[in-house]
Amino acid sequence: MQENNIKSKEELIEKILQKEWDFFSKLHNIGGRASCQDNKEDFIIMRKAQWLTFNLETLKSYWRDLNSDKNPLFEKYARMMKDNMPDEYERIKDNLESVSLEKKALVNKIMLVYMEWEEEFFSFFPIYSSMGRPLYTFQDSLEDTSIETYLRGELYSYSEETLKSYYEYINSMYIDGINLAIKNMDIIAQMQGFKDSRDVEKYYRK
């Protein structure tokens, strides 16, 4: 799909979801196929909620990433292994692209903003946050990958162009006092029948 044929943000998100699911469902995992690779419904909810918090310019750049000669989802999960499966990471790291200093700097700047947002989410909504991933990399285990590790892997899978666009966007949101981590979780809550994160917290506090 050419960018000049994109009619709306929602249409582009649907195209991204289709492409991502195709990549994700066909990934080869150590130890065999993961159960989440057969759970398209949850995958779509989580990914769609994330993309709805992005601006159109960054989504268009990521769409170009998805249609390049690499698989960003392979890159993401492979990068995550550096923290949660270091021995396995050593076996596959030569298959990954080298990371420029500029890309590292962009990832670090985005991480600083987004982890602050995530910390606010955990502080404001302790019950709702306890239902998902742990927050920090030191909490990683074979069963659970932290938000910090997942986010870092995700960001390293983006091109420099996408990272530049995304950083400009989240920096503007930060200046305006908009927490995209909470917005993301609000959208997930709405997809699951709640009003927002506050409603989830109130419901499970009963």
Give the HSE-up count for residue 156: Cα atoms under 13 Å, Cβ half-sphere.
23
107 vs 112, 164, 166, 171, 193, CA distance in Å?
9, 9, 10, 13, 33
- Quote the pLDDT of residue 33: 40
pTM of the entire predicted model:
0.89
- Quote the pLDDT of residue 32: 43
Nearest-angstrom CA–CA distance, 67 and 69: 7
- Quote the pLDDT of residue 7: 66
Q: Any idea where the domains of the chain sit in the sequence?
A: 8-205
Nearest-angstrom CA–CA distance, 55 and 47: 14
- Quote the pLDDT of residue 89: 82
Determine contact, residues 117/184, Cβ cutoff 8 Å.
no
Q: How far apart are the first and last CA of the chain?
A: 48
For 202, the token pair is: 């109130």
Nearest-angstrom CA–CA distance, 137 and 179: 21
- Quote the pLDDT of residue 5: 61
pLDDT values of the chain reduced to their tens digit, one per residue, 206 residues: 455 566 689 999 999 999 999 988 887 555 444 545 556 899 999 999 999 999 999 999 999 999 988 888 888 988 888 887 888 888 888 888 889 999 999 999 999 999 999 999 999 999 999 999 999 999 988 788 999 999 999 999 999 999 999 999 999 999 999 999 999 999 999 999 999 999 999 999 97
